[in-house]
Amino acid sequence: MDLLAEAKRIEPDIVKTRRALHRHPELSYGEEWTSDFVAGELKRLGIEVKRGVGGTGVVGILKGGKGGKVIALRADMDALPVQELSDVEFRSEVDGVMHACGHDTHMAMLLGAARLLSDHKSELCGTVKFLFQPAEEHGGRGGALPMIEAGAMEGPKVDYVFGLHISSTQKAGEFGIKGGAVMAAPDTFKVTIFGKGGHGSAPHETVDPVYIAAHVILALQGVSSRMIDPVRPFVITVGSVHSGTKENIIPDIALLQGTVRTLDEATRKLAKRKVREVAIGVCRSFNADAKVEFEEDAYPVTVNDPKVTGRVARVLRTIPGAKVKEMDAILGGEDFSRFLRKAPGTFYFLGTMNRVKGCVHPNHSAKFKVDEDVLKLGSASLAMLAIDFGTPREAR
């Protein structure tokens, strides 16, 4: 079967679906309209649907006409708290909320794959589970873990799991793939500095938490540059600083918030320990106290099974005209990592950068746009992976 040709035939519907979802973005854990829409589309295809899986999650189950493996395909559903500034005619209708990371395209491509596979139900080997996941953007507990706890990867037990993400840094239509660690563990931290406030004209009578915060920010950069092996990818960023109410008042407290990004668990553990030691040590040197907190349940490192990923690359290269590129790891986080801890699989990328069409702004930008010509490639690739990995060796 030529699934790309079939995806081209239903391309207008995939694009229409994407635009409908783009108009109605919803934030993490509040994907009610989105969940209703997705469930309705799956039911229309004759696919068994389970609602309320780990919150607003939706699971579609398509049982093929022949025996085989159980394959899970995942798309995330939530949007971001961003006021859209793109010039598309189907821009967000929800004030201050936008699908600025492409999750609308992920859902549209997976629904397109569901249609392709349902059209070949009698020929399909095994079972395909379509996982529509909430709260990927949450960054802590997220949506994958609640879905797993609710049994999304069981009954029947998933043998392989795959996820696809739109990328603004790769050329439109180009697949990016990598075995091993492909995305980072994103650990969020808070440093609360407890000083002693007073008048701005008499700093010697105070323990100035703002001044100390500046030293902490600078010192934390030494964790990556001087305390951890430089061949280990690692980033620490302080993105939020809050303190004070007026220019001539030295406050009592300062709050720093940041993120640590690592690609292996050993570096992750060491980096978190060093952040704590440095922050507390600097504060003590200025006679201040500090409290360092890391968010619990942060996403683990996203690790693609190398053998499975090699096979995925071979499948993608059979798509007519497809370009498959070995990519570098990136330090963004993904809770697809949770699914990969339950079954071997691959998280791969599809480029959407197209300068002619103005698709040049990065994911999470208020001006983020997608080259919709790539959506058919995404749908075809997901369907092909379900067929290839679902078919027993003796039936190929």
Q: How many domains would you assign to the chain?
A: 2
pLDDT of residue 296: 84
pLDDT of residue 199: 98
Mean pLDDT (the chain) is 96
Residues 6+ apart with CB under 8 A from 190: 255, 256, 257, 291, 292, 293
pLDDT of residue 53: 98
Domain assignment of residue 97, given as a range:
3-179+305-395
Residues 150 and 24 in one domain: yes
pLDDT of residue 214: 98
What pLDDT, in 10s, does the model give residues 116-174?
999 999 999 999 999 999 999 998 889 999 999 999 999 999 999 999 999 999 999 99
State the average pLDDT over residues 70-93. 97
Residues 21 and 148 in one domain: yes
* Active-site option among 174, 299, 334, 348: 299
pLDDT of residue 150: 98
pLDDT of residue 396: 66
State the average pLDDT over residues 276-297. 96
Residue 299 is assigned to a structural domain of this protein: no
- Amino acid identity of residue 373, one-letter, is D
Residues 26 and 120 in one domain: yes
Residues 225 and 309 in one domain: no
When comparing pLDDT for 308 and 65, which is higher? 308
Residues 214 and 160 in one domain: no
Residue 300 is assigned to a structural domain of this protein: no
What pLDDT, in 10s, does the model give residues 290-337?
999 999 889 999 999 999 999 999 999 999 988 999 999 999 999 999
Question: What is the band of 230 on the pLDDT scale with cuts at 50, 70, 90?
Answer: confident
Task: Give the separation between CA 131 and CA 279, rounded to whole angstroms.
Answer: 41
List the one residue out of 380, 392, 352 whose CA is nearest residue 171.
Answer: 352
What pLDDT, in 10s, does the model give residues 202-214?
999 999 999 999 9
What pLDDT, in 10s, does the model give residues 357-373?
999 999 999 999 999 99
The pTM of this model reads 0.94
Residue 100 is assigned to a structural domain of this protein: yes
Identify any residues that bridge with 163 across adjacent strands, giving them in sequence order: 74, 347
Identify any residues that bridge with 299 across adjacent strands, giving them in sequence order: none
* Active-site option among 31, 84, 136, 372: 372
- Residue 373: exposed, middle, or buried by beta-carbon count in 10 A (0-12, 13-18, 19+)? middle
Residue 229 is assigned to a structural domain of this protein: yes
For residue 374, the Cα-to-chain-centroid distance in whole angstroms is 19
Residues 61 and 143 in one domain: yes
Task: Give the separation between CA 41 and CA 18, rounded to whole angstroms.
Answer: 12
Residue 299: active-site member: yes
Of 252, 275, 294, the last residue of a domain is 294
Residues 163 and 190 in one domain: no
Residues 99 and 226 in one domain: no
State the average pLDDT over residues 233-249. 95
pLDDT of residue 63: 96
Of 294, 328, 350, the last residue of a domain is 294
> What phi and psi values does residue 254 have, to the nearest 5 degrees?
-130, 145
Q: Is the dihedral angle over the CA atoms 304, 305, 307, 308 positive or is it negative?
A: negative
User: Above 90 in pLDDT, residue 224?
Assistant: no
State the average pLDDT over residues 334-342. 97
Of 294, 323, 338, the last residue of a domain is 294
Residues 313 and 387 in one domain: yes
User: Above 90 in pLDDT, residue 58?
Assistant: yes
Q: Report percent pLDDT > 90 for the chain.
A: 93
List the one residue out of 112, 91, 89 whose CA is nearest residue 100.
Answer: 91
Task: Give the separation between CA 153 and CA 148, rounded to whole angstroms.
Answer: 6
Residue 326: active-site member: no
